[in-house]
Chains A and B, each alone.
Chain A
Amino acid sequence: MDNLSYLFAAYAIIFAVIFGYVLFIWRRQVALEAELRAMEARMRALDEAAVATKAARFRAGS
């Protein structure tokens, strides 16, 4: 293995590791965003159901 090969190997590994780590973070972020959206949607649905229940009880009481 000549010196140019060592130089190439070092720089290739640096960029491969950095790109790999950035890709890992990006994929994690996409997954978390999807989970957050789903959970926020469920919270909204629960809030709406709670409001509807309270309104129905109020009407029934009056």
Chain B
Amino acid sequence: MNGRGVRLGLGLVAGALMLAALYMVFVYVPTEADQGIVQRIFYFHVPCAWVAFVSFALVAIAGIFYLWLGQQVWDDLGYAAAETGMVFCTLVLVTGSIWAKPIWGAWWTWDSRLTTTLILWLLYGGYLMLRAMAGDSEQGARFGAVVGIVAAIDVPIVIVSVRLWRTIHPAVLVTRQGGHGLEDPRMVATLLVALAAFTALFIWILCLRFVTLRMHTRLGALARSLALAEAAAQDS
């Protein structure tokens, strides 16, 4: 099975899981007693956060391998993961804000979970800006790797922020009392299917973006070879 076939298969799996997740969110799962129908945002809000955290952890891992081995493939993987992570981190902030308005009465509050997530978004936004300004230079890739590694420190801070500081953000999955705060097993099942759907979606999108970056790298190498070949042809 070639690369295209694998990517198509991943896309179909992600699509099927996403349809299953949508069915469970809008048909299967019961409505939460306190927050009502708007609580269903939770089932896609949390998986977006999961994908963002995994993406940024992958940026850090790829950065370490790039600094250690110096191979362009690791830089391409890190960049693909950073861009994907930024998309999903943006969705976390936007969906969280939409959910917050009817529940907390405000689009935003300087709560610890929200603030640390915003810091995470700004850090990786900075990574992408740095890479855009540096172009394809090796120095830009090295700086980017360092920024990606350092910025990943914020990921565990975001996760434990609801335990470390006073917060109004729900601590649903890791409560202070231990266990999760989902009252119905159908809610747990729906969340798990949504997490699986978003994980498959993340892998698919990451593959697609990684392939374009590898093509870009190959294009650069080919352009250099072509320039040398044309110069040699002119000399002869």
Contact = CB atoms under 8 A, between A and B. Distances in A.
* Pairing of A with B: yes
B99 A6 contact: yes
B218 interface: yes
B87 interface: yes
A7 B205 CA distance: 25
A13 B99 CA distance: 13
Interface of B: 36-38, 40-41, 44-45, 48, 87, 90-91, 94-95, 98-99, 101-102, 201, 205, 208-209, 211-212, 215-216, 218-219, 222-223, 225-226, 229-230, 232-233, 236
Given A3-B37, A26-B208, A29-B212, 15 more contacts: A3-B36, A6-B38, A13-B91, A13-B95, A14-B91, A25-B205, A25-B209, A29-B215, A32-B212, A32-B215, A36-B219, A39-B226, A40-B222, A43-B226, A49-B233
A46 B209 CA distance: 31
Given A26-B208, A32-B216, A35-B219, A7 B229 contact: no
7 contacts: A7-B41, A13-B95, A14-B95, A25-B205, A39-B226, A43-B225, A46-B230
Interface residues of A, number: 31
Nearest to B222: A39
What secondary structure prevails in chain A residues at the interface with B? Answer: helix
Contacts of A18: 87, 91, 201, 205
Contacts of A7: 37-38, 40-41
Interface of A: 1, 3-4, 6-7, 9-11, 13-14, 17-18, 21-22, 25-26, 28-29, 32-33, 35-36, 39-40, 42-43, 46-47, 49-50, 53
What secondary structure prevails in chain B residues at the interface with A? Answer: helix
Contacts of A32: 212, 215-216, 219
Nearest to A40: B222
A18 B205 CA distance: 9
A35 to B, nearest CB: 6
Contacts of B41: 6-7, 10-11
A28 B40 CA distance: 34
A49 to B, nearest CB: 6
Given A6-B38, A6-B102, A10-B95, A29 B223 contact: no
Nearest to A2: B102
A51 B94 CA distance: 60
Contacts of B236: 50, 53
A9 B98 CA distance: 8
A28 B213 CA distance: 10
Contacts of B95: 10, 13-14
A46 B99 contact: no
A1 B98 CA distance: 11
A29 B102 contact: no
